Amino acid sequence: MHAAAEDDYHDDVFPVVPAPRDGTRWEAPADLEQHLYELVEADDGYGYLRALAVEGVYRPVPLTDFAAAPDAPPLFSVEVPDGRRVAQVYTSGLLPRPHPDVVYEYVTLGTLAREWPDDIDVMVVNTRTPCEQYYLTTDEEREVWADLHDEHHREGRIDDRVDTRRTGAPDGPVLHGLACGAHLCFANGDAWNTLDWHGSGYSNEVARLEEWWGVRDREEWLGVQERLLGREVSPWYWDFVLGARLAVAAEQGTPVDPELWRRCVEVTLRNRVVETGGPGTPHRPGDDPELDQFVTALRDLVGKILRYEARFRADGLLPPDGHVASVAAWDLGRASKMARWGRGARYATHAELVAALERAAHEAQSAYTSWAEFSAGYVLGRCLHFDDEEFGTWYTSVLRAHRALTTDPDSPWLTVPFRTA
């Protein structure tokens, strides 16, 4: 089931970006479009195609066409006055606000070369924008497309980068909420600061949510989104163990002795069993084998956290005396992206996207005091979830994201204050 609020309907189904009237250079929304604009000015159609081969393009598809042919919706085209048919495609930075009736599908230049319909004569890229470019679609021309794709397109080539839109970004809490998803935006090569979310294309966004989250419709998306914003997806006992260290530090000072930390974890947990179960509830060592096993696991978790933090300090992810106070960022960072993924799959309205981002920002500011703290919490949560102390790619890839996000001048963590006065 799709979401379609009245406010989501608008006239900007296709991008319309006028050129500057005063003769100044156009400020493109992103680096790719700036590059394409310069190639158009230089009359370099081949270089333009080469850039498309690297990045791919997006084609508009009415949802009615998806309903009729979900596995292969036709290429949208129009007939121009001279009788030829023209199909339009766009680069990511020029995609318009999502519309309830039209979606955009990602496609490579190689796929277009192989599957281009014989009855469509022209491809126009970024029509009605300053970086508009036209191509005839003869067999010879499409052989050039295929060759460029084979030479330049690589799966994941545009991942692991800070991509920042130059125009159209929101501000205030919404921008802060977008910045909370920066780890995942970096990993996927997504623009971190746009609400006009199309992600990897409509069908890919739908497939992503089903594969990774088991989300197949709007109701399931709403449930997962709420659980992430409520910090209920990650196991509760991760922050329970971290909170025990804070309690010991408040009483005994720092640094916290690991055995005192473990003892606090165990005593607090056993006391909670009594509080919830009432007097006489088995809670002492030996009373309940399952409880004893859980206590052992949480005591062991103390050691796992200490070892991760030692590695974080060695890698510069934490300061020399730093530690992680909460893993809330692991859920909140994913909540920031879940809001966008839901929008891309048309499970979320624009208003729901904005509201989720504002909540993510508020929760992050309640749990942390800086982007560096937020990042360390996110990384620890990811490692506890996936890495199992292997320090493999689940760790090294997010460490790479952390380093880029704390150093790149375009990073949200250097341009968006974590707190405002």
**DSSP type of residue 257:** P
Mean pLDDT of the chain: 95
Give phi and psi for 373, each to the nearest 5. -65, -45
What pLDDT is attached to residue 71? 87
From 288, 314, 340, the end of a domain falls on: 314
Query: Order of strands across the sheet with 122-125?
Result: 77-79, 85-89, 122-125, 133-136
Tens of pLDDT, residues 165-180: 999 999 999 999 999 9
Do 106 and 82 share a structural domain? yes
Cα 14 off chain centre by: 24
What pLDDT is attached to residue 385? 97
Q: Is residue 163 part of a domain?
A: no
- Taking the CA atoms of 224, 177, 345 and 58 in sequence, report the sign of the dihedral they define: negative
Do 144 and 132 share a structural domain? yes
What pLDDT is attached to residue 7? 74
Tens of pLDDT, residues 23-68: 788 999 999 999 999 999 999 999 999 999 999 999 999 999 988 9
How much of the chain exceeds pLDDT 70, in percent? 99
Residues in the chain: 421
- Taking the CA atoms of 77, 80, 83 and 84 in sequence, report the sign of the dihedral they define: negative
Do 406 and 266 share a structural domain? no
* Burial class for 276, CB neighbours closer than 10 Å (0-12, 13-18, 19+): exposed
CA angle at 116 for the pair 111 and 119, rounded to the nearest 5°: 175
Tens of pLDDT, residues 256-290: 999 999 999 999 999 998 888 777 777 788 788 99
Q: Compute the distance between CA of residue 231 and CA of residue 125 in angstroms, rounded to an integer.
A: 42
* 396: containing domain: 172-234+328-415
Tens of pLDDT, residues 114-166: 999 999 999 999 999 999 999 999 999 999 999 999 999 998 888 999 999 99
- Count of domains observed in the chain: 3
Q: Is residue 35 part of a domain?
A: yes
> Which amino acid, one-letter code, is at 16?
V
Do 228 and 240 share a structural domain? no
Do 240 and 230 share a structural domain? no
Do 71 and 109 share a structural domain? yes
Q: Give the pair of three-digit tokens for residue 121.
A: 């004569």
Q: Is residue 46 part of a domain?
A: yes
How much of the chain exceeds pLDDT 90, in percent? 87
Do 248 and 209 share a structural domain? no
Q: Check: pTM over 0.85? Answer yes or no.
A: yes
Q: Is residue 26 part of a domain?
A: yes
From 152, 186, 220, the end of a domain falls on: 152
Do 128 and 26 share a structural domain? yes
Tens of pLDDT, residues 344-400: 999 999 999 999 999 999 999 999 999 999 999 999 999 999 999 999 999 999 999
Q: Is residue 157 part of a domain?
A: no
- Cβ contact 360:229 at 8 Å: yes
Nearest residue to 415 (alpha-carbon basis) of 158, 92, 164, 189: 164
What pLDDT is attached to residue 115? 96
* Strands (DSSP E) found in 126-239: 133-136
Q: Which helix (H) or strand (E) holds 102?
A: strand 102-107
